[in-house]
Chain A
Amino acid sequence: MEQAYRIAVGGRFGRLAALAGAAMLVFFVALPAFAGRATIEDLIFVFYMLALAQYWNLLAGYAGLISVGQQAFVGLGGYTLFALTVMAGLDPLLAIVLAGLVAGLLALPTAFVVFRLHGAYFAIGTWVVAEVYRLVFAQWKQLGGGTGTSLPPEITNTVFGIEWVKSLFDVRTSAARDMILYWAALALAAGTVLAVYLILRSRHGLALAAIRDSEPAAASAGVDNFRTKLAVYVATAMGTGMVGALIYLQKARISPDSAFAVLDWTAYVILIVVIGGIGTIEGPIVGVLVFYFLQSYLAGYGTWYLILLGALAILVMLFAPRGIWGYVSERTNLVLFPIRRRLVRSGDGA
């Protein structure tokens, strides 16, 4: 008997997760109406680290491009924001978008160099390029050179929509500014998760999975490995640049050493992804929550905290290389973001 098949993605639980996600999004959008400023600032941090982690995960966990130089694009985004707002007088929110474009544009010459290296050497190569950007920006005297510069308060205080927020919630300028930054961070984080999910579900996601499993096999199946990787590299640079712009809009102070810091913008991000579970969308979400709680309770211990994080990375890599989410998912078959394709009989429920 002939049997018809079709390809299905997701399942009943996936739809449930989508509903829950939508509900959570509504909750987070409404949150500033009743949450305090400290909560809002913490969540901004969680959101931008989540976005950075998703980009690094897409790069390393899916495209196999293990970069330790993503701080290059955080810094580029931050500095572009400062240049566009301080020197060109643009609105900060517009500048965030443009910063993403600039980071994406500069990712092209960067890729020209680092794509000549492979594997672990690619990793250090990206780090060298980030160092070059750091040293070049230290020469930019209008933006403070090596010591950096601050964003004048009038720039953040006149951000688009601030008057509206002030009158709607009846709050002062600084609180209204935080709310707008919070929504921007939420939009970036949620948009990133959604974008990564859609990419992975698309035809390109299949190509990425093929490359991750075996580059020669992917090439022989007609995947253009170089172009696919380049596209992912540039796309993640754009996203990372936008996040960088947002981070430094919130910090309102930038210096080459902080904006291009490997520890803050790459090491922590890698730890988040690895601890949460590399190669899944859920992993970075779990990782960022773990990281946030570790940071909240242990950051006061300074060097001991960092030693603990380093040890945690080693232990996870040795004993649970697929991270917390991988461990959970293996035992429960739980998937919140279904991207796997399954063959099902036509007519059967998915």
Chain B
Amino acid sequence: MLETRGLTAFYGDFQALYGIDAALGAGETVAIIGANGAGKSTFLKAITGLLPCLPDAVRLQGAAIGGLAPARIARLGISLVPEGRKLFPSLTVEENLLIGAHGRAPGGYWNLARVYGLFPILAERRRVPSTSLSGGQQQMAAIGRALMANPRVLLCDEISLGLAPIVIRDIYNAIPAIRAEGTSIVLVEQDIVQALAVADRVYCLQEGRVSLAGRPDELTREQIHTAYFGT
């Protein structure tokens, strides 16, 4: 489905990624873990076109999409749930969901009713400005907004960040329903436990490189600890 090969990325003169090789199969859920500054968010920025990269470095179903404009990449079927939610403050909750479907032909599985079915609290609060939602509700709205595009690949950047454990559980409970529609998912997380519980495979990043890859049940705690923190 989605594949990166030798993906490098720079912030000005600073190199943040040193050749990432990763793959995401159709319907698969992959977790990307790593410490702060390991390059996880940079990896997503490069895939979504917010950072420049070589065309061949990112492939979607075999087609080179690296470095295309973010809007084009989004329309090709890659949706991002950005770190910090990034809901549009002057739009209501429902408008935020609708903007996720902007310019897409209707008819996909996900629509307003199904998103409200997944997160019933959003239906109750559909008319309020997105700024008046709680953190967990905002995260649900951000996921719902990304789903409204009926993406082939859903990229989730730190969806548990800053949320209470019980809220995190609620949000992760939605993942199986999203997987059930065949959507491939990339979960970027610092919270290893949650990520490993739902992921088919995991990549660990360290200082801009893949330090470990494998199936969660085949990896030992020590391996992950070493890959995560170094030493």
A and B touch in the complex (CB under 8 A): no
